Amino acid sequence: MNMQEIRNRAGQLLSLEGKVALVTGSASGIGRGIAIRLAEMGATIVVLDKNLEGGRETVTTIVQAGARAVALACDVRSRSDCQRAVAEVVAAYGRIDILCNNAGIAIRKDVLMLEEEEWDLVLGVTLKSVYLLSREVIPHMIRGGGGSIINTGSGWSLKGGPKAVSYCAAKGGVMNLTRAMAIDHGKDNIRVNCVCPGDIDTPMLASECRQLGEDANQFMKEAANRPLARVGTPDDVANAVLFLASDMSKWVTGASLVVDGGGLA
């Protein structure tokens, strides 16, 4: 095999041509980056977000680049919303090959300050949604011969963080839920993995800064205090998700890929 054939083979392994990918929380931030990257590699993208206007902006970016995408409104905490959204996708495309459970929310409070309603909100959006959507999508993946599920965890899936009890609990749950699902559905040729970003330059990170009442410049400077000396970008995470979604990782399941510039090193 010559070098050109090797390059072609690598491209084939990363190609998502003919695949249908559902990406939650993709109206902005990491989810938008994931949706765009998977579309660039040939997938038809379903942008799933409660923020339909933002979802449509993601779709416009993808379609203007010559790829295929559609936006659906969905409250990922709602079983009926998740059922409806998945049914619409299957009716339109006949399959779901890739599920990216990316939706999440961070409320920066300790256990004494956090209200019960806030706990329920964070756990619902960040953790319960993974269960609800996986429950709806997996039967269609089984029918189609397999698939890839990528859940978005966090560096705080692996360690605790200050004033973030609900977020840490949810993201820790996402990681172990990933492992359990990988064990249960390996027999169905469904791979389930988790990507664990560090601080990423997104609207969510800006929101955390405001919640904590910190100076934005100092906050970002501290966030960049890691071996690679910068805050991450949605593209950094999207590239890791592409690897886990593609045949490049066809013997990888139950894994957690840390993408944090060395912050946990």
Model pLDDT for residues 178-199, shown as the tens digit of each residue: 999 999 999 999 999 999 999 9
* pLDDT higher than threshold 90 for residue 3: no
Asked if 95 and 145 count as a contact pair (C-beta separation under 8 A), the reply is no
Would residue 91 count as lying in a domain?
A: yes
Give how many domains the chain has, as a whole number: 1
* pLDDT higher than threshold 80 for residue 159: yes
Domain that holds residue 143: 3-104+125-155+173-259
Would residue 209 count as lying in a domain?
A: yes
Q: Which pLDDT does position 119 carry in this prediction?
A: 98
167 is catalytic: yes
Distance in angstroms (rounded) separating the CA atoms of residues 168 and 153:
10
State pTM to two decimals: 0.96
Would residue 114 count as lying in a domain?
A: no
Tell me the CATH number at 49: 3.40.50.720
Model pLDDT for residues 125-145, shown as the tens digit of each residue: 999 999 999 999 999 999 999
Would residue 160 count as lying in a domain?
A: no
Helix count and strand count (H, E) for the chain: 10, 7
Given 148, 167, 177, 238, the catalytic residue? 167
* pLDDT higher than threshold 80 for residue 10: no
Would residue 98 count as lying in a domain?
A: yes
* pLDDT higher than threshold 80 for residue 1: no
For 195-223, give one letter per residue: b (16+ CB within 10 A) or e: bbbbbbbbebbeebbeeeeeeeeebbeeb
* pLDDT higher than threshold 80 for residue 6: no
For residue 184, give the amino acid letter.
Answer: D
